Amino acid sequence: MEHDYITTQYYLRIQEKAKYEHISGFTQEEIVDELYIVLFEAIPKFEGRNGATEKTFAEGVMRKKIIDLRRYAGTKKRKTEVKFADIGLSEYGERTYPEEN
Domain for residue 79, yes or no? yes
With contact defined as beta carbons under 8 Å apart, do 54 and 43 qualify? yes
Domain for residue 49, yes or no? yes
Report the alpha-carbon distance of residue 54 to residue 47 in Å, rounded.
8
Domain for residue 20, yes or no? yes
Phi and psi based region of residue 50 (left: phi greater than 0; alpha: psi -120 to 50; beta: remaining): left
**Alpha helix ranges (H) inside 1-101:** 2-20, 28-42, 54-86
- Report how many domains make up the chain: 1
What's the number of CA atoms in the CB half-sphere (13 Å) around residue 32?
12
Q: Could you tell me the CATH number of the domain that includes residue 64?
A: 1.10.1740
With contact defined as beta carbons under 8 Å apart, do 2 and 44 qualify? yes
Considering only residues 24 and 76, tell me which one the structure prediction assigns the higher pLDDT.
24
Domain for residue 73, yes or no? yes
Q: What are phi and psi of 11, to 5 degrees?
A: -55, -55
Domain for residue 55, yes or no? yes
Range of the domain at 46: 2-86
- Say what the pTM is: 0.68
Task: Summarize the confidence of residues 12-23 as an average pLDDT.
Answer: 89
35-86 per-position pLDDT tens digit: 999 998 998 888 888 888 999 999 999 999 999 999 888 776 655 555 555 5
CA angle 42, 40, 6 (to 5 degrees): 110
